[in-house]
Amino acid sequence: MSKNYSYIDTADALEEACIELEKASVLCVDTEFHREKTYYAHFALLQISSREKCYVIDPTTIDDLSPVWRLMHNEKILKVFHAARQDLEIIMLESGGLPTPLFDTQVAAALLGYGQQIGFGNLVQRILKKALPKQESFSDWLARPLTTKQLAYAADDVIFLMPIYQHLEEQLQAKGRREWLLEEQETLSSEKTYQIDRKEVYWRVKGVNRLKPKKLAVLREMAAWREDHAQHKNIPRRRIISDDTLIELAKRDSVSVNTMDRMRGLSEGVIKRFGKEIVDAWEKGMACPEEDWPKLHPRSYHTSGTELRQELLDTMVRLKAEDEMIASNILVSKSELGTLASWGKDRKGEPPELSVLHGWRRELVGNDLLRLINGEISLRINPETSLPEIKDLS
């Protein structure tokens, strides 16, 4: 299928391609990029395909990409991606806006029973019964000139995406789950998702849950300092200071430039260059008043009989998942089930705020989980089929 593509590396060719693509109602889109050595993704290639034509666009040779960004922001054209998160981040950064409307085939596949976060090659294999070549998976997409094999590999990602989209769209419509997809994509489709709050990045630091509130305040300041430098220098966070080192610094009762050389993870160069700034951030966090300390995320607690109730709730979820041909872990996580099972002992106040108790999940399984906890329905073995079933007791 990769034979039907055009390589675009000039502004004039891009303008002509976009005029052609503007006629489409659906476009399949993918990007190639690197970010191993940078904070921001280094945009290397953009692939776009309609049902008739496919273009592989080289952003490294074209100064003005506004024609293609007009396409991405055209509300009359549906943009199809697979696992869109990083592609959308790049387009948001490069164009100043998100491509809408959106269809993510990975999300759609999850809603149709293909499993959570299925890879594109696996999805092509299962739906189209074709095996995509993998030789270029680790290509250097910034090297020029690109080889014929690289370009064909990149083109295939959007050429095969079109029949995948058509199949999943038909299945969503047939099962009445198109609205589910829109609900699931709300976060993907929000510009806030791609806007980094420097005062909240500490929650992403590995090991954050090991710290108490006062030390979290210290970590918050140091992580914000690291984020500022990583963005300014366009280098990965870990190149400045690792997560493990940030946690170790936050845990300490005193920090000074003179004692930093005794810590693993802090090189002489980092101490010389950033030592005072690290200490300033640490001291600012230590001086934070108690009322401004970060609030720890509430942890689920286990009451008497929680594990047994959780097993019963999990059985209910698996029955629903089997009936609806959808993966049970998409409906509800184990941690959410544990929280709900713990609340179910006394059922005081409103049920906890859980995703399974909102939107299509609540309609599909959440309400029945609450009814099971309240004794309004039960699980039993059907004597005629010898299979588990849900019985209404009202």
**Tens-digit pLDDT profile for residues 157-216:** 999 999 999 999 999 999 999 999 999 999 999 999 999 999 999 999 999 999 999 999
Pick from 86, 102, 80, 108: nearest CA to 42: 86
Asked which of 174, 194, 214 is the last residue of a domain, the reply is 194
Tokens of 390: 């849900």
CATH of the domain at 89: 3.30.420.10
pTM for the model stands at 0.90
Q: Are strands 388-392 and 78-81 parallel, antiparallel or unpaired?
A: unpaired
Burial per residue of 335-369, b for 16 or more beta-carbon CB atoms within 10 angstroms, e otherwise: ebbbbbbbbbeeeeeebeebebbeebbbebbbebb
CATH of the domain at 366: 1.10.150.80
Within the chain, what is the greatest distance between any pair of CA atoms?
Answer: 77
Q: What is the pLDDT of residue 394?
A: 77
83 shares a domain with 10: yes
237 shares a domain with 137: no
CA gap 194, 182 in Å, rounded: 18
Pick from 252, 249, 250, 244: nearest CA to 218: 250
347 shares a domain with 232: no
The C-alpha angle 360, 363, 364, rounded to 5 degrees, equals 85
277 shares a domain with 187: no
221 within 8 A of 281, measured Cβ to Cβ? yes
Tokens of 166: 């058509």
pLDDT in tens, 62-111: 999 999 999 999 999 999 999 999 999 999 999 999 999 999 999 999 99
CA gap 218, 213 in Å, rounded: 9
- Domain limits at 281? 201-292
Asked which of 137, 164, 194 is the last residue of a domain, the reply is 194
The C-alpha angle 189, 195, 200, rounded to 5 degrees, equals 120
252 shares a domain with 173: no
188 within 8 A of 215, measured Cβ to Cβ? no
174 shares a domain with 39: yes
Q: What is the DSSP letter of 363?
A: I
CA gap 176, 278 in Å, rounded: 54
184 shares a domain with 41: yes
Residue 180: inside a domain: yes
110 shares a domain with 14: yes
pLDDT at 300 over 80: no
17 shares a domain with 63: yes
CA of 192: how far to CAs of 183, 197, 355, in Å?
Answer: 16, 9, 19
Query: What is the tally of structural domains in the chain?
Result: 3
Tokens of 119: 């890879």
Residue 274: inside a domain: yes
pLDDT at 348 over 90: no
Q: What is the pLDDT of residue 1?
A: 45
Tokens of 8: 């675009």
168 shares a domain with 98: yes
Residue 301: inside a domain: no
Sign of the alpha-carbon dihedral angle for 263, 267, 268, 271 = negative
174 shares a domain with 31: yes
Pick from 114, 110, 139, 140: nearest CA to 126: 114
Tokens of 388: 């588990």
Cβ neighbors of 340 (< 8 A, separation 6 or more) are 310, 313, 351, 352, 354, 356, 369, 373
Residue 362: inside a domain: yes
Asked which of 171, 194, 217 is the last residue of a domain, the reply is 194
